[in-house]
Copies of this chain bind each other. A is one copy, B any other.
Amino acid sequence: MNLFRFLLLLLLNSTVAFAAKVDTLAIPSAAMQRTYKAAVAVPASYIKNKKARYPVLYLLHGAYGHFADWSRSTPDKTLIHRLADQYNLIIVMPEGETFSFYLDSPVNKASQFETYITKEVIEKIDQTYRTVARKEGRVISGLSMGGHGALYLSGRHPELFAAAGSMSGALDISVSNRRLNPEEDKNRRALFEPILGPEGPHPNLYDANSVVGMTDKLYTNGLPLIIDCGVDDFLIEINREVHRRLIYNHTPHDYTERPGAHTWEYWQNALPYHVQFFQQVLEKGGVAVK
């Protein structure tokens, strides 16, 4: 290949370059005796940059959702691709089922998503891709139930992640902070009982698995945190409470309120701020791919 062709190729490549691809990867769960799919956005540079190890953003979906949500439901369908390329990040969007809350259910063997994400998914990703396969190279975020998941899993496994974020997070699954009418209460029970059993008197499993009660753990862990919520979101007061408790116990964290509700427009707007936040952490950790 002469120099001309080489330069031409380079130029073409740099045009083609802005096109991360999104794989669908099957990730089996021994714990649940079942295989779930995950979407994995791989930045365009990954193919050429054959020696580099890439940091990974684990990005969790919300209740009633599935692994493909983040790559399909944002109004701008190129968002995930662009962010993967712009920041040279592998973005893994695993399955969390419609209502697992990313915890290991004590009453349902088929819902063991804490184990799935923190052991099985991470191991499979680290085997399949050239990742920075350690704490410094992993960050985690999510929306709604996935915001809970990101803070909950990183809060309980601080040895696995360098930073964590939550958008519009369902950070309190206990009913104690809410006044529900009988209809709402019934619906709520129907959703949570399959994973946590009947709620019963406080303190209970619902309290123990709510992020709002884990703020002292978050303080001790010391992970960089980014948390935001729309002021018209039905979860805004829960997020304000978490912010106030983190202020109260002096846990460093970024907290943002902005216009918007529990919508994909909101999350499309919020995600780039999370990625920018994580990028700083990854750069400080020396694992960002330039």
The residues of A with any CB-CB pair to B shorter than 8 Å are 3-4, 7-8, 10-11, 14, 176-179, 201-203, 207, 216-217, 219-220, 231, 237, 241, 243-245, 247-250, 252-259, 269, 272-273, 276, 280
Q: Are A177 and B207 in contact (CB under 8 A)?
A: no
Q: Are B176 and A249 in contact (CB under 8 A)?
A: yes
Could you tell me the distance between the alpha carbons of A254 and B270 in the complex, rounded to whole angstroms? 11
A-B contact pairs, 28 of them (CB 8 A): A3-B4, A4-B4, A4-B7, A14-B14, A176-B216, A176-B249, A176-B250, A177-B249, A177-B250, A202-B216, A202-B219, A202-B220, A203-B216, A237-B248, A241-B244, A243-B257, A244-B244, A252-B258, A252-B259, A253-B258, A254-B257, A254-B259, A255-B256, A255-B258, A256-B256, A269-B280, A272-B276, A273-B273
| A217 proximity list for chain B (CB < 8 A) | 202
| A216 proximity list for chain B (CB < 8 A) | 176, 202-203, 207
Q: Are B248 and A220 in contact (CB under 8 A)?
A: no
Q: How far is the CB of A237 from chain B (nearest CB, A)?
A: 7
Q: How far is the CB of A85 from chain B (nearest CB, A)?
A: 14
**How many copies, total?**
4
Could you tell me the distance between the alpha carbons of A217 and B257 in the complex, rounded to whole angstroms? 20
Give the nearest-CB partner of A236 in chain B. B247
Could you tell me the distance between the alpha carbons of A160 and B211 in the complex, rounded to whole angstroms? 33
Give the nearest-CB partner of A260 in chain B. B252
9 extra interchain contacts, Cβ-Cβ under 8 A, other than A7-B11, A237-B248?
A: A4-B4, A176-B219, A202-B216, A243-B257, A247-B257, A253-B258, A254-B257, A255-B257, A255-B258
Q: Which of A4, A237, A248, A272 has the most CB of B within 10 A?
A: A248
Q: Are A248 and B177 in contact (CB under 8 A)?
A: yes
Could you tell me the distance between the alpha carbons of A94 and B244 in the complex, rounded to whole angstroms? 36
Could you tell me the distance between the alpha carbons of A245 and B11 in the complex, rounded to whole angstroms? 52
Could you tell me the distance between the alpha carbons of A250 and B258 in the complex, rounded to whole angstroms? 11
